[in-house]
A and B are shown apart, each in its own frame.
Chain A
């Protein structure tokens, strides 16, 4: 029988000097999602060296039991004793690029339920912790029981498994909610869109989570603006440009705006508020700007310098590096907004030249963008178009509604219906 080890659970003094106080616990979906980066961050460097393809993280849950497991190499026993199960990090902890404050994982587990099992095996050693939280809380012990177990002997199967049972009441209610699955999927898809399927595959109850991509695009006629600067060990890269059109050849306002990532983790998605400068430095967001996509990346080997909150779910607006970036964001975005200003006449009809430019845009992979040089937003000059004539007529509302119903596009404005019906007749009755 293996002798239990004890972990001294003394909060390290460095924790008291963290920048922000611990906020109120985040809602359930975010707690569950908080456990994913632990696996991804521990494997960050390993993943890039993996010969075996992306790492795997599997979440399974039902009304009684939650489990997350990965094949990311496992937590070494010594690391578990000295770092993972302490509150905060010690000063000489190896700096991980996603973990920052050393409490995210613990907070997530302890808030979920009353019975926790953590089992982790590297290829050489392993441990299991089986904790009944209420009993442990009542005891005067500040140590956590740890059982040493054998390693896997095979790096391919080394990994960690965490099981939580005996949910707290509010957690049980949330897991039962009809929208929980969708919101968990959406959050993982969005937050880790830059990692998913490239470095890690995440499955929730057996369903693979597909990344929610950022549709920033370019073409032969229009580029993506790029700027970068360094600020005290933080590398900042800013991109701005036009979105690729969706399947209906439209831009969607919900996708527009600024995306902000810290060390690859998205902390802000499709923001169209003052947070990222709309209405303060940039024009206020209006529907004609729905083709705008901006991306702001902060990268640092020291995650404490990044402008994210303790939950890693938001931006710390007081951060100096973020304030400096905001000024640059307004500058880089300006030519894109001017393009969109020029694209839409007052009747919301898109002008032909800009519409054709927009139609040719395809999504760009962020890895290609990162290799591109710094550049300002530019569109290739177009030859002067053919002369045009304006077509304008009145139509009965009932007849317009009939056409909209027939087309299945009730939300299209009259001008778009007119353009569509004109083009339809041209293509079908008057081929070239």
Chain B
């Protein structure tokens, strides 16, 4: 079997709890969008399903989305993708994002998730540009990238800066001296991607990007997802009426702090105990022992979205 370099075959996707929390938060957010009047069920979902297609499964089952397309550039995976495709309604395209995006219909609203496993590159920025140009009003764009220092073997800011100057070029703009420190790469990556998106949207009068998501998390590598809706003032107004009760993860302001997805480590028994107290008050602790406060806080924010894993012996 040819070994592809994609993380699809290096990282077991279904055991990435933070990634799963992110997916579940997207589902929660899209349910709120549906409540606010967006016809999510009729949206077309286009994503990089990998061989696991987990996002397709939950978007189809929990949101009712039927129009689905999964694309994959590595043609050697075609056989496995066909085999693992979860539903007949999933269309498989062995093409890159740059080839798929121009074919997305302008008469259809989309959820497009560009879920990369590498740091920002010039190609990724071109894809984001194309999305900004092509996606119809009301569509949601999600982009995920790796935000570790991009140069192998070095996390020196000057090496990172050289990389970004080459890859991001004109999208880099004015940068602060600390922009290329490891802890700030999520912000810098987000900034260049937003510039590429704005450039793609340029000239589309009356169209704005309405931010919704800004996640950072780390199952292994540190990742960042930005996401939002391409809309007019009409969609913008509709988004103001989103029910935000319990949706601490939403990031709708212009320059927000990211929402960090932290998955605390609890045993199955401990989770059952904690669930019975959720949603707990601030400062709550079990009667007989103490958990770290930060972990309880993280659990309170994410318990509705946390996956539970089990082993089946077949």
Chain A interface (Cβ within 8 Å of chain B)? 274, 279-284, 320-328, 330-332, 334-335, 338, 376
- Counting from the closest, the 10 A-B pairs by CB-CB distance are A324-B203, A327-B133, A323-B203, A323-B202, A281-B129, A331-B102, A334-B102, A320-B203, A327-B200, A338-B99
- Taken together as a complex, chains A and B put the C-alpha atoms of A323 and B203 apart, in Å, by 5
Flag if B99 contacts A281 (CB, 8 Å).
Answer: no
A324–B207 Cα distance when bound, in Å, is: 11
- Can you list, as one digit per residue, whether each of B274-303 has a CB less than 8 Å from chain A (1) or not (0)? 000000000000000000000000000000
Question: Which residues of chain A come closer than 8 Å to B122, judged between CB atoms?
Answer: 279, 284
Question: A327 with B102: in contact, given A281-B130, A334-B130 (CB under 8 Å)?
Answer: no
17 inter-chain pairs at a CB distance below 8 angstroms, sorted by A residue, are A279-B169, A281-B126, A284-B122, A323-B202, A324-B203, A327-B200, A330-B126, A330-B130, A330-B133, A331-B133, A331-B134, A332-B102, A334-B101, A334-B130, A335-B99, A335-B102, A338-B99
Residues of B near A327 (CB, < 8 A) are 129, 132-134, 200-204
Minimum Cβ distance to chain A for residue B89 (Å): 24
Q: B103 at the A/B interface (Cβ < 8 Å)? A: yes
- Enumerate chain B interface residues (CB-CB to A < 8 A): 98-99, 101-103, 122-123, 126, 129-130, 132-134, 169-170, 199-205
Q: Which residues of A contact B201 (CB under 8 A)?
A: 327
Chain A positions within 8 Å of B202 at CB level: 323-324, 326-327
Instruction: Choose from B103, B133, B204, B205 the contact partner of A281 (Cβ within 8 Å).
Output: B133
A430 to B99, CA, bound (A): 43
**Given the complex of chains A and B, what is the CA–CA distance between A301 and B291 in angstroms?**
74
CB distance from A173 to the nearest CB of B (A): 39
- What chain A residues lie within 8 Å of B99 (beta carbons)? 334-335, 338
A302 to B123, CA, bound (A): 38
Shortest Cβ distance from B96 into chain A, in angstroms?
Answer: 8
A338 and B99 alpha carbons, distance in the complex (Å): 7
Q: Which residue of B lies closest to A284 (CB)?
A: B122
* Chain B residues whose CB sits within 8 angstroms of the CB of A335 once the complex forms: 99, 102
Contacting residues, chain B, for A326 (C-beta < 8 A):
202-203
Distance (Å) between the CB of B99 and the closest chain A CB?
A: 5
Residues of A within 8 A of B204 (CB): 324, 327
Cβ B126 vs Cβ A282 within 8 A: yes
Complexed CA–CA distance, A281 and B198 (Å): 11
Whole-angstrom CA separation of A332 from B103 in the bound complex:
9
Cα A319 to Cα B311 in complex, Å, equals: 60
CB distance from B112 to the nearest CB of A (A): 14
Chain A interface mostly: helix
Residues of A within 8 A of B126 (CB): 281-283, 330
Q: Are A325 and B203 in contact (CB under 8 A)?
A: yes
Candidates B133, B199, B205; contact of A328 at CB < 8 Å: B133
Q: How far is the CB of A318 from chain B (nearest CB, A)?
A: 10
B170 touches A274 (CB 8 A): yes
How far is B203's CA from A281's CA once the two chains are assembled, in angstroms? 14
C-alpha spacing A282/B204, complex, angstroms: 18
With A327-B132, A331-B130, A376-B103 given, can you name 12 additional A-B contacts, CB distance below 8 Å? A279-B169, A281-B126, A281-B129, A282-B126, A320-B203, A323-B203, A324-B203, A324-B205, A327-B200, A327-B201, A327-B203, A330-B130
CB neighbours of B98 from chain A (8 A): 334, 338
Chain B residues, CB < 8 A from A322: 203
* Max chain B Cβ within 10 angstroms of own Cβ: one of A279, A324, A332: A324
Q: Given the complex of chains A and B, what is the CA–CA distance between A334 and B133 in angstroms?
A: 12
* Nearest B-chain residue to A319, judged by Cβ: B203
Residues of B within 8 A of A324 (CB): 202-205
Chain A: minimal CB distance from B173 (Å): 13
- B199 near A281 with CB under 8 A, answer yes
B77 → chain A, closest Cβ, in Å? Answer: 18
Query: In the complex, what distance in Å separates the CA atom of A299 from the CA atom of B212?
Result: 39
Q: Across the interface, do B199 and A280 meet the contact criterion of CB distance under 8 Å?
A: yes
A320 and B205 form a contact (CB under 8 A): yes
Q: Is the CB of A281 within 8 A of B170?
A: no
Q: Within the complex, what minimum Cβ distance (angstroms) separates A286 from chain B?
A: 13
Chain B residues lying within 8 Å of A281, measured Cβ to Cβ, are: 126, 129-130, 133, 199-200
In the complex, what's the smallest C-beta–C-beta distance from B201 to chain A, in angstroms?
7
The chain A residue with its CB closest to the CB of B99 is: A338
CA distance A283 to B122 in the complex (A): 8
Complex: how many Å from CA A326 to CA B132?
11
Most buried by A among B133, B169, B205: B133
- What's the Cα separation between A280 and B129 when bound, in Å? 8
CB distance from A329 to the nearest CB of B (A): 9
Closest to B103 in A: A376
Distance (whole angstroms) from the CB of A25 to the closest CB of chain B: 31
A279 contacts across to B, CB distance below 8 A: 122, 169
Beyond A274-B170, A279-B169, is A330–B129 a contact (Cβ under 8 Å)?
yes
Which residues of A sit under 8 angstroms from B123, Cβ to Cβ? 283
Closest to A321 in B: B203
With both beta carbons as reference points, the residue of chain B lying nearest to A337 in the complex is identified as: B98
Q: Report how far A130 CA is from B16 CA in the complex, Å.
A: 85
Partner pick for B170 among A280, A283, A321, A323, CB 8 A cutoff: A280
Report the bound CA distance from A331 to B98 in whole Å.
9
Of the listed residues A283, A324, A328, A334, the one surrounded by the most CB atoms of chain B closer than 10 A to its CB is A334
* CA gap between A155 and B132 in the complex, in Å: 54
Contacts of A330 in B (CB 8 A): 126, 129-130, 133, 200
Cβ of B85 to closest chain A Cβ, rounded Å? 23
For A325, list chain B residues within 8 Å (CB): 203
For A277, give the chain B residue with the smallest CB separation.
Answer: B129
| A236 to B169 alpha-carbon distance, docked (Å) | 29
Cα-based distance from A34 to B62 in the complex (angstroms): 64
Across the interface, name the chain A residue whose C-beta is closest to B95.
A338
Beta-carbon nearest neighbor of B129 in chain A: A281
List the B side residues contacting A376 at CB < 8 Å.
102-103
